[in-house]
Amino acid sequence: MTTQTPSTTTPQAPSYPQQVTGMDILVRALGMVGIDTMYGLVGIPVTELAYIAQGRGIRFISFRHEQQAGMAAATHGYVTGKPGVLLTVSSLGFLNGLTATANATVNCYPMIQISGSSVREPIDLLQGTYEGLDQLSIAKPLVKAAYRVNKPEDIPTAVVRAYRAAISGRPGGVYLDVTTPCLGAIMNAEDAEKLFYSPVDLCPAMPPAPGAIERAVALLASAKKPAIVIGKGAAYARVEEQLKTLVDKTGIPYYPMSMAKGVLPDNGPLSAISCRSTIMAEADVVILAGARLNWLLSRGHGKWSQNTKFIQLDISPEEIDCNRPIAAPVVGDLASSLEALTEGIARAGMNMDPTWVPGLQKESEAKNAKFKGRLADNSSAMPMNHWTALGAIKPVLESNPDVILVNEGANTLDDTRDSIDMSLPRHRIDCATWAIMGMGMGSAIGAAVATGKSVVAIEGDSAFGFSGMDFSTICRFKLPVTVVIFNNGGIYNGIGVNMGTDGDPAPTTLDVRARYDKLGDAFGAATYYVTTPQELTDALTKAIASKAPALIDVQLGADSGKESGHIGYLNPTPLENITV
Ligand code: ADP
Ligand code: MG
């Protein structure tokens, strides 16, 4: 008979290798390329992904509407030079976000929209699954690049590819589709660990060809009346120093496009910001520095002299000749191109007409004095109009140059752009190339989060309506954002007349008596309702100093503003010519 000796060791639980999910891998891969912030709106299948991201130190800014989260990601990309990331759910969330990703692509803002998508097989067979939508196919024509990742093993590669596509060459919006099974797939942590790598040189310099520089230098050296048009590509490329050197060394005057205001100071001695028509009519050689000859520059026609020759500095070869022959294309990254051009022209020397710059300066002086009069003249007009309000805002913003100005609307956009001088680069963000409405709260949030700076968003009442609910996001995240609403009670203005007999509001009519400040109250912001220029000056000064969420409802007259602002010529028929 044998006696059993009791075991001295306690029984061990069976040991399994540590496991991770596709979501863990995705968060880690984003961290590896330096993503520290995500903007989005959660739900099936990405809720846990956002929790994991937050837990691992990636800031998650949660929105009320995906379009605004996307606008924030795009603005983050524009002001930092690194892709902003938008996270959306499947179907409608994806579609809402895609609006912003498409807009980012048109504007050359780098961003990545990551969207969860449902199980593929029933989508492909149209069998009717939860939020079933062929998202990849829908995204493709609207974005710079689109990828789908089906296996967790592929996630790190997918993230690096999306990053490179967003930022390299001409930046743009990239779509990354991640299926629900991929997000939930499980891998051994040890195997997953082997997938990660640090990509080398995520945004390589792309210097121009020496021959292209020679050609451009020869043309510039022959110019009698040269000018530089600075576009938001230059703001994005952070070439303010290179542009300053070129301007300092050559004395060439410059004209900034809307979002390029401040790349070089709007009120500098060589700023020709008030002389757009003269430059178009008289300049013989124009350097386009990160600006496209698109509709915002009359596609190179209209008021442009047909004798003007262009030197176009752009990263995108397809941009050249797209509307008008370009005499000297310089394809390359702007920093390299500007440095080479400056070096070349320093050697070749300029031959400018000695009357060109003094003439522009004289014209600027006269126009600026007239404009100043317009802002001051109206200071007693009641109720306020756009100019009165801007006359009150101008000194406050110009004495706070480091505040980022976000701006959308029709008259509110045009008049603000014309009134407020900018002196720092990437401090003006607006509806840009598509001239769309509905970027305000998103861009304000993206700008504040990405830079830590104070933001003032000057919004038309209609424009604000597209994104107004995300004012609550500004409040939840306690961002230093002041929203200023110009309430003239309508799209363009509040005096539209219904051409029928049903008594409904006219298509352009909103509510001139709406108290937007009460909307701010609902979310705990500091709020102001102002009816005079002095009240507006005081409220804005206080709001900026508070570095906290604020909303200023500016009461304008319903008759302030004209249809379509400065671009009424784009309407098929002027409203006054319509009869029913
Ligand atoms: P704007 O509206 O201010 O005129 P656009 O958005 O029309 O500006 O044009 C910006 C241009 O800048 C685009 O053609 C884009 O390809 C170019 N661009 C963007 N980044 C760079 C860069 N790093 N180097 C050179 N060109 C760039
Ligand atoms: Mg309005």
290 lines ligand 1 (CB under 6 A): yes
pLDDT of residue 244: 98
Percentage of residues of the chain with pLDDT beyond 70: 98
Q: How many residues does the chain have?
A: 580
Q: 30 vs 381, which has greater pLDDT?
A: 30
Closest CA to 71 of 343, 424, 429: 429
Mean pLDDT, residues 82-106 taken together: 98
Neighbouring-strand partners of residue 226: 285
Task: For residue 381, name the pLDDT band (cuts at 50, 70, 90).
Answer: confident
Can you tell me which atom of ligand 1 is nearest the CA of 319?
14
Ligand 1 near 433 CB (within 6 A): yes
Mean pLDDT, rounded, for 6-22: 83
- In sequence order, the 6+-apart residues with CB closer than 8 A to the CB of 467 are 65, 67, 68, 71, 438, 439, 440, 441, 442
DSSP 432-476: TTTT-S--HHHHHHHHHHHH---EEEEEEHHHHHHHGGGHHHHHH
What is the rounded CA–CA span in Å between residue 59 and residue 450?
A: 11
pLDDT digits (tens, 9 = 90+) for 286-311: 999 999 999 999 999 999 999 999 99
Write out pLDDT tens, residues 85-95.
999 999 999 99
Closest ligand, as measured to the CA of 204: 1
Compute the half-sphere exposure of residue 67: CA atoms within 13 Å on the CB side of its CA: 15
Helix (H, G, I), strand (E, B) or coil at 94: helix
Residue 550 alpha carbon to ligand 2 centre in Å: 20
Q: Running DSSP on this structure, what letter comes out for residue 88?
A: E
201-238 burial string, b = 16+ CB within 10 Å, else e? ebbeeeebeeebbebbbebbbebebbbbbbbbbbbbbe
DSSP 8-state assignment for residue 417: H
pLDDT in tens, 322-350: 999 999 999 999 999 999 999 999 999 99
**What is the pLDDT confidence band of residue 53, given thresholds at 50, 70 and 90?**
very high
Indicate the range of 4-8, 400-404, 413-417 predicted with least confidence.
Answer: 4-8
13 pLDDT band (50/70/90 cuts)? confident
Q: How far apart are CA 178 and CA 119, in angstroms?
A: 10
Is the confidence at residue 135, as pLDDT, over 70?
yes
| Closest-approaching ligand to the CA atom of 411 | 2
Residue 501: pLDDT band (50, 70, 90) is very high
Centre of ligand 2 from the C-alpha of residue 409, in Å: 7
Look at residue 6 in the predicted model and tell me its pLDDT.
61
Answer whether 68's CB lies under 8 Å from 483's CB.
no
- pLDDT at res. 379: 58
The mean pLDDT value for 97-107 works out to 98
Provide the pLDDT confidence category of residue 164 given band limits of 50, 70 and 90: very high
Identify the burial level of 269 via C-beta atoms within 10 angstroms of its C-beta, where 0-12 means exposed, 13-18 middle and 19 or more buried: exposed
Q: Which ligand is nearest the CA of 318, by number?
A: 1
Res. 195: pLDDT tops 70: yes
Binned at pLDDT 50, 70 and 90, residue 380 comes out as low
Instruction: Return the residue matching tokens 């540590």.
Output: 18
pLDDT (mean) for 143-167: 98
> Residue 237's pLDDT is what?
98
In the reported structure, the alpha carbon of residue 360 is separated from the centroid of ligand 1 by a whole-number distance in angstroms of: 26
Beta bridge partners of 456: 405, 482
- Which DSSP string do the residues of 366-383 spell out, in sequence order? HHHHHHHHHHHHGGG-SS
What's the CA dihedral at 299, 303, 305, 308 to 10 degrees?
-50
pLDDT at res. 5? 61
pLDDT value at residue 281: 98
Residue 382: pLDDT band (50, 70, 90) is confident
Q: Is the pLDDT of residue 1 over 60?
A: no
Residue nearest ligand 1's atom 4 by CA: 291
- Assess whether pLDDT exceeds 90 at residue 72: yes
- pLDDT band, very low/low/confident/very high, at 483 (cuts 50, 70, 90): very high
Over 80: is that where the pLDDT of 15 sits?
yes
* Alpha carbon distance 226, 247 (integer Å): 11
pLDDT at 2 over 70: no
Q: Give nearest CA residue, ligand 1 atom 10.
A: 233
Query: What pLDDT is recorded for position 377?
Result: 65
Q: Is the pLDDT of residue 258 over 60?
A: yes
> Residue 566: its pLDDT value, please?
86
Residue 351 confidence (pLDDT): 97
Ligand positioned closest to the Cα atom of 332: 1
Rounded to two decimals, the pTM is 0.96
Indicate if the pLDDT at residue 535 is higher than 90.
Answer: yes
* pLDDT for the residue 42: 98
Q: What is the mean pLDDT of the chain?
A: 96
pLDDT of the residue at 305: 98
Q: Is 154 in the pocket of ligand 1 (CB under 6 A)?
A: no
Provide mean pLDDT across the span 250-267.
Answer: 98
Residues 37 and 514: their CA atoms lie apart, in Å, by: 35
pLDDT at 578: 79
The neighbouring-strand residues paired with 530 are 554
Gap between the Cα atoms of 311 and 75, Å rounded: 28
334 CA → ligand 1 middle, Å = 9
Number of Cβ within 10 Å of residue 190's Cβ equals 11
162 lines ligand 1 (CB under 6 A): no
